[in-house]
A and B are shown apart, each in its own frame.
Chain A
């Protein structure tokens, strides 16, 4: 049973909406001037570092220095120009338009924030990638299982449990790879339980996922209180070191952003590529998508619907388990209660934003990662905005993204509905 609401509300490019959006854009452009362009001393400059400080691997390139006031005015003018263009001719691609305007806003904000000082832009881009890693892994888990029409909203709980088991095993054995394996196996196990509940027992998928979240949060907090907070031998694993990839790391800007991370970031990038290829260029992927779009037809053609769903959900659970392991052995080396802080849900939003496509999911995870790293940067730069409001940013972005895009993405047709074999 679907409500088809989104279809009714799909925005069509009528002259009236064009007029409205054009005017909105012009106002947005003026807002840039009002928000960031006022009270700037004319001579101030914003410096963006393009070479990480104290990093000998990278070929140094000069910093990007922008005069603050003209830069902000240019960005405002670009937005106003886009609005005028929209009024006069109309711009075909709404996504492009939204993307450009968002870029102008972010850039203007950065110029304003870095006014009169230096901001490490490359470091920030790297932090974005690192922060995006668990989100992307969560989103990937969502993509893999939802392409087979099983909604897994319990990713948060899976990640908490696997974060805990991975740090425990890694601390006990002093082997981070075993920890990673433990995390993935935990994810697999919990996802298998979810799969049994929703496929075998036809429990409402969302409710089963919520139960996974509650049990995951409860069990990990229970064990954390009972054992991990008491003994450090179980909760002190160390983290994967950063591996610079020889040669590639020397590339300016790209090198320090992409090729100087820990193994989990590389694994995430590889997994995204592999999932993309498997999903769209192999028989397995075709069957997965068939099961997600029209299970009955797939069944008629001899595909084992239940089997495909089980395997996909369980594989997704392994990916989410890796995402959970990232929180402990990939970043801080210890487990704390509820440390995932909603990243599993943000991953789901990234999956929707990315249109159930691994590459898209990575792209939208990067946006969330950027919002996160921006927030950290702003706290360091002590911008006169309360930190609490900056902390809201990723969540507000999630809501805006969901509200703005759901109507325009393609959900797997059978997503969330159990299949009953006749």
Chain B
């Protein structure tokens, strides 16, 4: 790689110094880890403040301070405990399940015990792909807030191919449905990319508008052309041949999509860091003026990056449809857009980082349902924690200020630009 075109690219500074690799890695991981920790601490405060028992206990704090603290601890530990259980299950249960399986050959207890963890992995799958989508945008200096719309459109197109074609063998039908999802998302992402390149319309606003358009479009499709017979606005169930095979019997939904997502992450790494186009995309992201001087076509790179970004988001939608739900309903893509932004930021836009961040996020989301059920904490607490994590990851200075850490190296990564400049 030649060094002169990407002066501000963090990867270059990272790979250039061989010495102190370990401490640099630690430093890279430290801020995101502390950001997540801080997010959870503030989340805990919110949980405590919104708990009636805690508020009552604090009313007579001066008579029984111990009771107030105990109530606080109870509220937080129940909420986060059920979150953790919902995400990973419990080790003793898995152990007992395994024992009974090896003793009697009855797998029921084991499957039940590993259900939370496999469910988390199933939830992680679309997050990996959607997080990669946003990360690719960031690498080109584009802020794709439209992952949600691209996800939804990808889900619809893959479902359409999944249910409307009959009689194909799985090795044709499944890839076809996945590709259809990617193509749908790619189309939805390419439009803002083209607009950005040709007219300078800022992708943040256009992708958000594309999201709203996709909601209306999918509402129309689900109530009209793609509606399955019946009352509810759902698509028909996709053909068996188009489903991603599952590893375990129902109700466990962990499937091959996870492997596909990991493979795609590796592919994206290869594309971004080992190919010329990937290099160009990163160069345009790091310094568009420099890239233009070097003879790169900025518009082309914007369009490629947004199309790829959209395709990844569409693939995420496809993996959710073909692997988990097998049909599309209303509000299918809700939340994936902002979740994937958080994942890309947390993963520092690096494919490996994205996979790790998606793992964290997916397990959280998967456990949050059980937290809402057991502890009565609304699921939106996750959004609050998530927004805080984004702030802290984007503002390492805040984290350093809170925890009194000195900065080892200063890096400035320009992620976005002003309006159409």
Interface residues of A, Cβ cutoff 8 Å to B:
1-6, 9, 151, 153, 197, 201-208, 210-219, 221-223, 225-226, 341-342, 345, 348-349, 352, 386, 388-389, 391-392, 395-396, 398-399, 402-404, 406-407, 411, 415-417
Contacting residue for A389 out of B205, B216, B341, B390, CB 8 A? B216
User: Which B residue's beta carbon lies closest to that of A229?
Assistant: B378
In angstroms, Cα B420 to Cα A348, docked, is 13
User: Which A residue's beta carbon lies closest to that of B393?
Assistant: A207
Is B198 in contact with A9, judged by CB distance below 8 angstroms?
A: yes
Q: In the complex, what's the smallest C-beta–C-beta distance from A62 to chain B, in angstroms?
A: 38
Contacts of B199 in A (CB 8 A): 6, 9, 402-404, 406-407
**Any chain A CB within 8 A of the CB of B36?**
no
Contacting residue for B398 out of A153, A201, A226, A398, CB 8 A? A201
Q: In the complex, what's the smallest C-beta–C-beta distance from A386 to chain B, in angstroms?
A: 5
Beyond known contacts A218-B383, A222-B383, A342-B212: 16 more, CB 8 A cutoff: A1-B414, A4-B421, A6-B200, A9-B200, A203-B391, A207-B390, A214-B341, A218-B380, A218-B381, A218-B387, A349-B209, A352-B419, A402-B201, A403-B201, A406-B201, A406-B419
Contacting residue for A197 out of B206, B220, B342, B395, CB 8 A? B395
In angstroms, Cα B195 to Cα A214, docked, is 25
Q: In the complex, what's the smallest C-beta–C-beta distance from B97 to chain A, in angstroms?
A: 34
Is A2 in contact with B205, judged by CB distance below 8 angstroms?
A: no
In angstroms, Cα B394 to Cα A212, docked, is 12
Is B415 in contact with A207, judged by CB distance below 8 angstroms?
A: yes
Q: In the complex, what's the smallest C-beta–C-beta distance from A17 to chain B, in angstroms?
A: 15
Is B420 in contact with A406, judged by CB distance below 8 angstroms?
A: yes
In angstroms, Cα B209 to Cα A201, docked, is 30
**Any chain A CB within 8 A of the CB of B145?**
yes
A-B contact pairs, 28 of them (CB 8 A): A2-B417, A2-B418, A4-B289, A5-B200, A6-B200, A9-B198, A9-B200, A151-B418, A201-B397, A204-B394, A215-B391, A216-B387, A218-B380, A219-B380, A222-B378, A222-B380, A226-B50, A348-B205, A388-B217, A392-B217, A395-B216, A403-B195, A403-B201, A406-B199, A406-B202, A406-B419, A407-B200, A415-B421
In angstroms, Cα B210 to Cα A403, docked, is 13
Is B395 in contact with A201, judged by CB distance below 8 angstroms?
A: yes
In angstroms, Cα B208 to Cα A348, docked, is 12
Number of A-B contacts (CB under 8 A): 195
Contacts A203-B391, A207-B394, A208-B394 given: A3-B289 contact, CB under 8 Å? Answer: yes
Is A197 in contact with B383, judged by CB distance below 8 angstroms?
A: no
Q: In the complex, what's the smallest C-beta–C-beta distance from B354 to chain A, in angstroms?
A: 16
Task: Give B364-404 interface residues, CB cut-off 8 Å to A.
Answer: 378, 380-384, 386-388, 390-391, 394-395, 397-398, 401
Contacts of A219 in B (CB 8 A): 380, 383-384
Interface residues as binary, B182-214 with A (CB distance below 8 Å gives 1, 0 otherwise) = 000000000000011111111011101110110
Is B195 in contact with A402, judged by CB distance below 8 angstroms?
A: yes
**Any chain A CB within 8 A of the CB of B298?**
yes
**Any chain A CB within 8 A of the CB of B46?**
yes
In angstroms, Cα B417 to Cα A208, docked, is 13
**Any chain A CB within 8 A of the CB of B345?**
yes
In angstroms, Cα B148 to Cα A342, docked, is 14
Task: Give B92-131 interface residues, CB cut-off 8 Å to A.
Answer: none
Contacts A151-B418, A398-B209 given: A1-B378 contact, CB under 8 Å? Answer: no
Contacts of B201 in A (CB 8 A): 399, 402-403, 406
In angstroms, Cα B412 to Cα A417, docked, is 13
Q: In the complex, what's the smallest C-beta–C-beta distance from A338 to chain B, in angstroms?
A: 10
Contacts of A2 in B (CB 8 A): 288-289, 417-418, 421
Contacting residue for A417 out of B288, B398, B418, CB 8 A? B418
Q: In the complex, what's the smallest C-beta–C-beta distance from A228 to chain B, in angstroms?
A: 11
**Any chain A CB within 8 A of the CB of B224?**
yes
Contacts of B383 in A (CB 8 A): 214-215, 217-219, 221-222
Is A211 in contact with B390, judged by CB distance below 8 angstroms?
A: yes
Contacts of B382 in A (CB 8 A): 218
Interface residues as binary, B135-164 with A (CB distance below 8 Å gives 1, 0 otherwise) = 000000001010000000000000000000
Is B197 in contact with A5, judged by CB distance below 8 angstroms?
A: yes
Contacting residue for A222 out of B46, B195, B394, CB 8 A? B46
Q: In the complex, what's the smallest C-beta–C-beta distance from A288 to chain B, in angstroms?
A: 17
Contacts A153-B204, A197-B395, A391-B216 given: A214-B387 contact, CB under 8 Å? Answer: yes
User: Which A residue's beta carbon lies closest to that of B339?
Assistant: A214
Is B213 in contact with A204, judged by CB distance below 8 angstroms?
A: no
Contacts of A151 in B (CB 8 A): 418-419
Contacts of A403 in B (CB 8 A): 195, 198-199, 201, 206
Contacts A222-B378, A411-B421, A417-B418 given: A402-B202 contact, CB under 8 Å? Answer: yes
Contacts A208-B391, A222-B384 given: A396-B213 contact, CB under 8 Å? Answer: yes
Is A3 in contact with B378, judged by CB distance below 8 angstroms?
A: no
Interface residues as binary, B287-315 with A (CB distance below 8 Å gives 1, 0 otherwise) = 11100100000110000000000000000
Q: In the complex, what's the smallest C-beta–C-beta distance from B297 to chain A, in angstroms?
A: 11
Q: In the complex, what's the smallest C-beta–C-beta distance from A6 to chain B, in angstroms?
A: 4
Is B195 in contact with A5, judged by CB distance below 8 angstroms?
A: no
Is A345 in contact with B205, judged by CB distance below 8 angstroms?
A: yes
User: Which B residue's beta carbon lies closest to that of A156?
Assistant: B208
Q: In the complex, what's the smallest C-beta–C-beta distance from B420 to chain A, in angstroms?
A: 4
In angstroms, Cα B290 to Cα A2, docked, is 10
Contacts of B220 in A (CB 8 A): 386, 388-389
In angstroms, Cα B404 to Cα A386, docked, is 58
Q: In the complex, what's the smallest C-beta–C-beta distance from B191 to chain A, in angstroms?
A: 8
Contacts of A389 in B (CB 8 A): 216, 220
**Any chain A CB within 8 A of the CB of B219?**
yes
Is A395 in contact with B209, judged by CB distance below 8 angstroms?
A: yes
Is A342 in contact with B208, judged by CB distance below 8 angstroms?
A: yes
Contacting residue for A214 out of B342, B414, B421, CB 8 A? B342
Q: In the complex, what's the smallest C-beta–C-beta distance from B316 to chain A, in angstroms?
A: 19
In angstroms, Cα B199 to Cα A5, docked, is 8
Is A206 in contact with B415, judged by CB distance below 8 angstroms?
A: yes
Contacts of A212 in B (CB 8 A): 387
Contacts of A352 in B (CB 8 A): 205, 419
Contacts A5-B200, A389-B216, A392-B217 given: A214-B378 contact, CB under 8 Å? Answer: no
